[in-house]
Amino acid sequence: MNKFLIVGIGNIGKEYLETRHNVGFEALDSICEEFKTSFETKKLGDIAKINYKGKSLVFLKPSTYVNLSGKSVRYWMNKEKIIRKNLLIITDDLNLDFGVIRIKEKGSDRGHNGLKNINELLQTNKYNRLRFGIGRDFLKDKQSDYVLSQWSQKEKSELIDYKPLFNQIVRSYVIEGIGPTMNKFNKKWKQLMELTALRWTHPPF
């Protein structure tokens, strides 16, 4: 059975709930809720597993904190024998406006310490990633405070509409592959998100 590792980047602990840096955790929580599965605490992270249309999906929320995400990713790739092309990282991105979605097969860390650590430990930047824009609405030298602060009320309400879209993207990636998924969502994410919010209560799995 073809196996995939879907990783949401974030920090563990109640003090980090609903913070911008934890959008990867929120995305995985939403996806696993739709699949009616739950996480169990394991070595270096919380893990959930499902089978979907002949594919085995392993969801990982690293417990290493953002800056050491690569340690958890590398461990679970090796343990589950998952090849790099079947790895998807979901993370925040300061360099994108809030709500902008970008899916890529490779790229730099763009100043994100979690991606930097993954690049270092996997010894490559050629792996799939879904970047969610959180914007740069902070004063000079306040970047750390910004990413570790909670969403504004406006952002929090808008984020609800994105959660079904995360589900669609992961499902498309697993079944159709990264190329078709990029083509489908990178240019049309906004229209698809609006349609999702209007027409879907729960995505059809």
| DSSP-derived secondary structure for 114-176 | HHHHHHHHHT-S-SEEEEEE----S-TT-HHHHHTSBPPHHHHHHHHHHHHHHHHHHHHHHHH
Q: Which helix (H) or strand (E) holds 8?
A: strand 2-8
Q: 153-176 and 189-199 helices cross at what angle (nearest 10)?
A: 100
Q: Does some domain include residue 169?
A: yes
Q: Can you give the pTM of this predicted structure? A: 0.91
Q: What is the CATH number of the domain that holds 29?
A: 3.40.50.1470
| pLDDT for the residue numbered 193 | 62
Quick check: is 202 catalytic?
no
State the maximum Cα–Cα separation within the chain, in Å, rounded to a whole number: 49
Residue 41, domain extent: 2-199
Q: Does some domain include residue 7?
A: yes
On average, the pLDDT of the chain sits at 91
| pLDDT for the residue numbered 161 | 83
| pLDDT for the residue numbered 202 | 45
Q: Does some domain include residue 89?
A: yes
pLDDT digits (tens, 9 = 90+) for 15-72: 999 999 999 999 999 999 999 999 999 999 999 999 999 999 999 999 999 999 999 9
Q: Report how far apart, in Å, the C-alpha atoms of 152 and of each of 4, 14, 18, 165, 184 are.
A: 33, 17, 10, 20, 29
| pLDDT for the residue numbered 138 | 86
Quick check: 125 pLDDT over 50? yes
pLDDT > 70 fraction of the chain, expressed in percent and rounded:
91
Within 10 angstroms of residue 162's Cβ, the number of other Cβ atoms is 21
| pLDDT for the residue numbered 9 | 97
Number of domains in the chain: 1
Q: Does some domain include residue 204?
A: no
Q: Which of 21, 116, 131, 163 is catalytic?
A: 21
Q: Does some domain include residue 126?
A: yes
Q: Does some domain include residue 205?
A: no
